Amino acid sequence: MPQAIVFTLRPAKAGQAPGNLSRAAHAAVLRLIQRADPQLAARIHDEQGRKPLTVSNIWGLGGGPSVLVDPERDYHLRITLLSPELEQIATEWTPEQIGALELDGQPWRVIARANTAAEHPWANRADYRELAAPLLHRPDQLPVTWTLEFVTPVTFRQRGMTMPLPLPDLVFGSLLEQWNASADLALPDEVRRYATECLAISRFDLRSAAVPTSGGALQIGAVGRCTYRAMTGDRYWRACIAVLTTFAFYSGVGAGTTRGFGQARLVPAHRLNLDQRPDNGDPLRD
């Protein structure tokens, strides 16, 4: 049962903080896991390939290499969990039990935890069978277009290089790998070929974004919206794409999802024509 949790945080005191705390947030989450299950924490840290969780940057910092943080202001940390082991451990992650998270040597108090969409639009939980409903039930009305919103930079590793463009084969190949690593209902590898050969980008509103890495270099990704259109009418493959686009809310897309990259969601059709609100540095806005 994948789960998305949004924590509200406040720094213990005012002061300067790095504009990107994603690695510190990831380390803090691993410490929480280690308290409950040291072997699981070590496995998540050491294993290559897909991880059973995503961790965002601290949202609300506003960008820049260094920012002034305010102990009277709310900031957010989003974590998604993709395995039963982690979901069970996370039941203990209440604000009272966590107390504070150490981020880059400074304590941040945990003020609140949101578990459902009613509590916060970026929190929720779902059963894998529920997510797979388009494939299991094959409704008469299946979409032919899907718009994904990448609220943090999405990037991919391709032939040893960074590819910052959310091309269909990269996006749905990434989602397919994470789905098959997490869910008990596997999707066929041919989904990637379908995405390559039968999905086209019909509309996009993207911009590049640079994120500093631990070595000081910049990693480039894309943020914004991209619409994918099925060029064939096959209902089975369209159902597979529908499953994966919904799963993106929990799995993230592309590389670096444990370091804040690739936070994404499917945009419902009725929201596509809404005016975009000004960017306030917090992707967690509605």
Last residue in a domain, options 124, 158, 178: 124
- Strand pairing partners for 15? 69
Residues 88 and 182 in one domain: no
Residues 62 and 151 in one domain: no
Whole domain around residue 114: which residue ranges? Answer: 3-124
Q: Which residues of 10-41 are buried (b: 16+ CB within 10 A; e: fewer)?
A: bbeeeeebbbbbbbbbbbbbbebbeebeeebb
What percentage of the chain reaches a pLDDT higher than 90? Answer: 77
197, containing H or E segment = helix 190-198
Residues 137 and 266 in one domain: yes
Task: Name the residue with tokens 């994966």.
Answer: 244
Residues 144 and 227 in one domain: yes
Last residue in a domain, options 124, 156, 185: 124
pLDDT for 140 equals: 76
Confidence of residue 277 (pLDDT cuts 50, 70, 90): very low
Q: Rounded mean pLDDT of 101-130?
A: 95
Check pLDDT > 50 for residue 117: yes
Residue 283 lies in a domain: no
pLDDT for 65 equals: 76
Residue 261 lies in a domain: yes
Check pLDDT > 80 for residue 283: no
Residues 133 and 112 in one domain: no
Domain count within the chain:
2
Residues 267 and 143 in one domain: yes
Residues 108 and 207 in one domain: no
Residue 143 lies in a domain: yes
Instruction: Supply the CATH number for residue 155's domain.
Output: 3.30.70.1900
Residues 46 and 141 in one domain: no
Task: Residue 216: count other Cβ atoms within 10 Å of its Cβ.
Answer: 6
Check pLDDT > 80 for residue 213: no
Residues 230 and 191 in one domain: yes
Task: Residue 262: count other Cβ atoms within 10 Å of its Cβ.
Answer: 27
Angstrom distance (rounded) from CA 44 to CA 24: 16
Angstrom distance (rounded) from CA 248 to CA 264: 6
Confidence of residue 280 (pLDDT cuts 50, 70, 90): very low
To the nearest whole number, what is the mean pLDDT of the chain? 91
Check pLDDT > 50 for residue 276: no
Q: Which residue has the higher pLDDT, 39 or 275?
A: 39
216-255 per-position pLDDT tens digit: 678 899 999 999 999 987 899 999 999 999 999 999 999 9
pLDDT for 203 equals: 95
Query: How far from 64 is each of 26, 88, 109, 210, 256, CA to CA, in Å?
Result: 20, 36, 23, 10, 20
